[in-house]
Amino acid sequence: MRGRRHLGFVAAAATLLAAAPMSTIYDRWTWLVQCAVVVGLIAGAATLTRWWRAPVWAQGLSMVAALLLGLTWIFPSGQELVSLLPTPGTLTHFGSLLASSGEDMRSYGVPVQDLDSLLFITALGVGGVAIVVDLLTVGMRRPALAGLPMLAIYSVPVAVHVDSVSAVPFVIGAVGFLWLLAADNVDRVRHFGRRFTGDGRDVDVWEPSPLAAAGRRLAVIGVAVAVLLPLAVPGMTSGLLSQLGTGGGGEGNGRPGQGGSPGRVNLFAQLSGELNRSEQRDMVKVTTNDPDPFYLRFAVADDFGRTGFGPRSPEGAPVTQGLPDPRDMSREQNAGITRTQYQAEVEIVDFAMPFLPVYTAPVSTRNVDGNWRYDPTMQVLYSERASSRNKKYSFEFVRSEYTPAALAAAPQLAPEHAFRKLYTTVEPVREVEELVGRLTTGKRNDYDRVRAIYDHFSRKNGFSYALNTEGGTSGQDIVNFLTNKVGFCQQYAAAMTWLVREAGVPARVAFGFTSANRSSNTYTLTNNNLHAWTEVYFTGIGWVPFDPTPAASITGSWRSEWAPDPDAPEQSPTAPSASAGPTADPSAGAESPDGAERPLDEAFDGGAGIAPDSGPRWPLWVVAVAVLLVLLLTVPALRRVLLRRRRQVRAAAAASTLASVTADGDVPPGVARVVLSDSELARARADAHAAWDELVDTLVDFRVRVDPAETPRATADRLVREGLTAGTADEAVRLLGHAEERARYAREPLRHGPLADALRSVRRALSAGADRRTRLVAATLPPSVLYRWRLAAMDLSAGFVGFTGRFRDRLLRWSPRRVLANRPSR
């Protein structure tokens, strides 16, 4: 009982240690005090009930009661009896705390202040974990399982933190778990009594047993496998590691829970959060030799879900493997498309995302390591692990521009094209359907349809810009926007994307910065320059940007020939953006005429060529792995077949050479007996051995018992007796047995035996007698080969263990402890 009580306290302490990672969330240490109180109460309750030898369920109940009491005491509602006993009022108070904790979690960034709601949920969670750990450890004696609830605590800071957290608190938690395991183990060993060495020396409880060496070895192997496996398996890094690694979500966006991998960033929420900030801060500095750059783009929301548009999980190869060049992919569709190569340099000032902002379409990068990947469909640089924080890099990009005629000439997307499902799905909304129907009647090609929708978002139609609107992009939000006609970039972009998709043309929302604050070639981009726009896919051309947000309201808004500003007077479509915002650089945005630097460039096929074959890369992997697996699986069968062929050839050759020898011997008259030379004898022996080995392998393959204590004769007799040779091969198996025993034990081996035929007939008989499964296994995964391999592996590992053992012994000889200890050698 003493051991158990002790174990209970260890469990409590381990729970507290496991809660250490919570310190990364809180600003102060109030939470720890409260958790300690709660856990202490629980441990006390558990000890008391155990002292009374209450059953496990009673222990659990008492702990829950202790948790309730503790919480009531720490978070009083003022309605308690004697200010301690919880009343229904207390519970309602707890409920409201819980409810507001959900709210607060979303609204406060880390590190958070001491908020009652958050403290309450922390104490509740840690207390719950303490109960479970105690029950698992002491009640059920399964301390290893207690690691799971502890892990639950771990996951909280991991989920909350957007970038890497210090590892120290986690190590503390792990130490707690190890302590728990060790304590339990020592307790277990104590149950056996005291430990002695062979010579009667008392062994300290903490001294490792001889078995510990094996345990250590297993542990090392386990850790190695755990580390190497995720590295070796492609695509696995996007699982666990991406969760543990840093994520996006610029800090202070008001939604601390939204960080994480590129596929999970809530781009819209961050966009509106940043745009609504009162103060302005520099985020990115970019220098480019493009005289009139388009938007610096970093992310795409291309997936339509219940709550509107969101990003898909990007897929792509590390940038270090090179980026696709859109010029390489150009098809026949190149008339009217110009592309120019420029170069740009980016310095991230204050922008933490799992994406790197680039101009479309980057063709080469510098100072971007292999953690960063490029999704050629989304055309984004993303990382599962790293963050864009404080990065400095440069890249070359190919800027593409299109003439309306080229876009108008683009064929319609084939109905079975994968993009149709990916990029044209939207929730059916009647108003939207009607609107799109009205706008696109009589339009003959995709471009005209898109233009009609694009032109719809004009001042003429009553659309205006306002930042302080609800930024949702779900169905109802879009309908509201289309009726109210007031919104900011994300509503414009989302609405246009929606309508274009409704019209059956692939579209998505892109995110980036408009170009502003120019000084010579450098643009300093702030949170106010964050922007969203629409990209539309044209078959054979690629993704083409359209920015439906009123250009006049956006600093650095950029209009193109294919998407001119619908609000502008016909002649000079670019003028209005000059007078945009207070921080606008008049020369930056739309000032430069669109067609200016558009010489006779080659055509640009903005990713059309990339999209179809680059998106789903995984089937290739799957096929490759499958082929590899199949190859690996056939290796044993192949080995078996080769072995059999070799032995059969041997056996056949044996019969023929021996026959020829006898024939030769018959030629000189009077020679009655051919005396074989030693080498011939040896060969005949080896041939018989080969035949016998083949028989034994065949037996193993067909799961017939093989007994190393049995002589060849006895084996053959047994096969005949047990009817395994089905009568037909009785003679054959006896012959093989006879040949083998002669080869092994007699002065002269058997000299003419149709061993090959015998082997064949025995194999046939065995195969006929076996069931289908055995036959299949014998053919595909011959147990004989596997058995040999296993033995070889075992021998190898035994040899290795022996070697390391000797090595350690040699080292131990020089160990100072051994020299000093001077204890009697055993």
Partner 1 sequence: MTQQTWDELGGTLPSDQFRAASDAIVANIEEVIEGKTATVRLALAVLLAEGHLLIEDVPGVGKTKLAKALARSIDCSVRRIQFTPDLLPSDVTGVSVYNQETHDFEFKPGAVFANLVVGDEINRASPKTQSALLECMEERQVTVDGVTYELQTPFMVIATQNPIEMEGTYPLPEAQRDRFTARIAMGYPDPGAELAMLDVHGGRDPIHELRPVSDAATVRKLIATVRDVHVADAVKQYAVDLVTATRESPDLRLGASPRATLQLLRTARAVAALEGRDYVLPDDLQALAVPVLAHRVIPTADAQLARRTTDAIVSELVHRLALPHERQRSPYDTRPPSGDGTGRSQYEPRRR
Nearer to partner 1, 241 or 706 (CB): 706
Nearer to partner 1, 58 or 798 (CB): 798
State in angstroms the smallest separation of the CB of 685 from partner 1: 11
Which window, 221-229, 628-636, 658-666, 687-695, contacts partner 1 (CB under 8 A)? 687-695
Q: Is 747 in the site for partner 1 (CB under 8 A)?
A: yes
Q: Is the link from the previous residue into 354 a cis peptide, with omega within 30 of 0? A: no
Q: Is the link from the previous residue into 361 a cis peptide, with omega within 30 of 0? A: yes
Q: Is 653 in the site for partner 1 (CB under 8 A)?
A: no
Which window, 283-291, 353-361, 711-719, 764-772, contacts partner 1 (CB under 8 A)? 711-719
Nearer to partner 1, 499 or 766 (CB): 766
Q: Are 580 and 554 in contact (CB under 8 A)?
A: yes
In whole angstroms, what is the distance from residue 764 CA to residue 595 CA? 82
Nearer to partner 1, 576 or 749 (CB): 749
Nearer to partner 1, 266 or 784 (CB): 784
Helix (H, G, I), strand (E, B) or coil at 715: helix
Nearer to partner 1, 204 or 771 (CB): 771
Q: Is 798 in the site for partner 1 (CB under 8 A)?
A: no
State in angstroms the smallest separation of the CB of 793 from partner 1: 12
Please report, for residues 120, 566, 698, 776, the alpha-carbon distance to residue 695 in angstroms, rounded to integers and kept in the order given.
74, 87, 5, 18
Nearer to partner 1, 456 or 742 (CB): 742
Nearer to partner 1, 45 or 785 (CB): 785
Query: Given the structure tokens 């490759």, which residue do they identify?
Result: 624
> Residues near 793 by Cβ (< 8 Å), separated by ≥ 6?
none
Per-residue contact flags (x/-) with partner 1 for residues 750 to 789, judged by CB under 8 A: ----------------------------------x--xx-
Nearer to partner 1, 196 or 745 (CB): 745
State in angstroms the smallest separation of the CB of 692 from partner 1: 8
Q: Is 745 in the site for partner 1 (CB under 8 A)?
A: yes
Binds partner 1 (CB under 8 A): choice among 82, 672, 709, 820: 709
Binds partner 1 (CB under 8 A): choice among 4, 195, 703, 760: 703
Nearer to partner 1, 347 or 693 (CB): 693
Q: Is 700 in the site for partner 1 (CB under 8 A)?
A: yes
Which window, 50-58, 578-586, 625-633, 710-718, contacts partner 1 (CB under 8 A)? 710-718
Binds partner 1 (CB under 8 A): choice among 428, 708, 816, 824: 708
Q: Is 697 in the site for partner 1 (CB under 8 A)?
A: yes
In whole angstroms, what is the distance from residue 769 CA to residue 503 CA? 68
Nearer to partner 1, 73 or 787 (CB): 787
Closest CA to 510 of 609, 410, 380: 380
Closest CA to 162 of 233, 253, 94, 97: 253
State in angstroms the smallest separation of the CB of 770 from partner 1: 14
State in angstroms the smallest separation of the CB of 647 from partner 1: 12
Nearer to partner 1, 57 or 745 (CB): 745
Helix (H, G, I), strand (E, B) or coil at 604: coil
Residues 224-253, interacting with partner 1 (CB under 8 A): none
> Residues near 644 by Cβ (< 8 Å), separated by ≥ 6?
694, 697
State in angstroms the smallest separation of the CB of 756 from partner 1: 19
DSSP string for residues in 308-355: EEEPPPP--EEGGG----GGGG--S--TTEEEEEEEEEEEESS---SE
Q: Is 696 in the site for partner 1 (CB under 8 A)?
A: yes
Which window, 162-170, 182-190, 267-275, 699-707, contacts partner 1 (CB under 8 A)? 699-707
Full 3-state SS string of 549-584: CCHHHCCCCCCCCCCCCCCCCCCCCCHHHHHCCCCC
Q: Are 685 and 692 in contact (CB under 8 A)?
A: no
State in angstroms the smallest separation of the CB of 724 from partner 1: 14
- Compute the residue count for the chain: 826
| 312-315 LR contacts (CB < 8 Å, sep 24+) | 312/263, 312/378, 313/238, 313/261, 313/262, 313/263, 314/262, 314/263, 314/373, 314/375, 314/378, 314/380, 314/382, 315/375, 315/377, 315/615, 315/617, 315/618
Closest CA to 379 of 540, 535, 522: 535
Q: Is 676 in the site for partner 1 (CB under 8 A)?
A: no
Nearer to partner 1, 145 or 714 (CB): 714
Nearer to partner 1, 5 or 703 (CB): 703
Q: Is 153 in the site for partner 1 (CB under 8 A)?
A: no
Binds partner 1 (CB under 8 A): choice among 706, 726, 777, 786: 706
Which window, 128-136, 362-370, 653-661, 705-713, contacts partner 1 (CB under 8 A)? 705-713
Nearer to partner 1, 232 or 675 (CB): 675
Query: Given the structure tokens 């391999």, which residue do they identify?
Result: 789
Binds partner 1 (CB under 8 A): choice among 714, 777, 781, 786: 714
Number of H helices, E strands in the chain: 25, 20
Write the single-letter amino acid at 644: R
Binds partner 1 (CB under 8 A): choice among 195, 744, 760, 764: 744
Q: Is 673 in the site for partner 1 (CB under 8 A)?
A: no
Q: How many residues bind partner 1 (CB under 8 A)?
A: 27
* Helix, strand, coil distribution of the chain in percent, nearest 5: 50, 10, 35
Q: Are 726 and 768 in contact (CB under 8 A)?
A: yes
Q: Is 366 in the site for partner 1 (CB under 8 A)?
A: no
Q: Are 505 and 537 in contact (CB under 8 A)?
A: yes
State in angstroms the smallest separation of the CB of 708 from partner 1: 4
Q: Is 713 in the site for partner 1 (CB under 8 A)?
A: yes
In whole angstroms, what is the distance from residue 303 CA to residue 507 CA? 10
Nearer to partner 1, 689 or 752 (CB): 689
Residues 591-650, interacting with partner 1 (CB under 8 A): none
Q: Is 710 in the site for partner 1 (CB under 8 A)?
A: yes
Q: Which phi and psi (to 5°) does residue 600 adopt?
A: -80, 60
Which window, 269-277, 307-315, 330-338, 695-703, contacts partner 1 (CB under 8 A)? 695-703
State in angstroms the smallest separation of the CB of 694 from partner 1: 10
State in angstroms the smallest separation of the CB of 703 from partner 1: 8
- H-helix segments, 202-265: 211-232, 240-244
State in angstroms the smallest separation of the CB of 320 from partner 1: 48
Nearer to partner 1, 415 or 708 (CB): 708
Left, alpha or beta for 194 (phi > 0: left; psi -120 to 50: alpha)? beta
Q: Are 100 and 15 in contact (CB under 8 A)?
A: no
Helix (H, G, I), strand (E, B) or coil at 300: strand
Interface residues with partner 1 (CB under 8 A) are 689, 692-693, 696-697, 700, 703-711, 713-714, 741-742, 744-747, 784, 787-788, 791
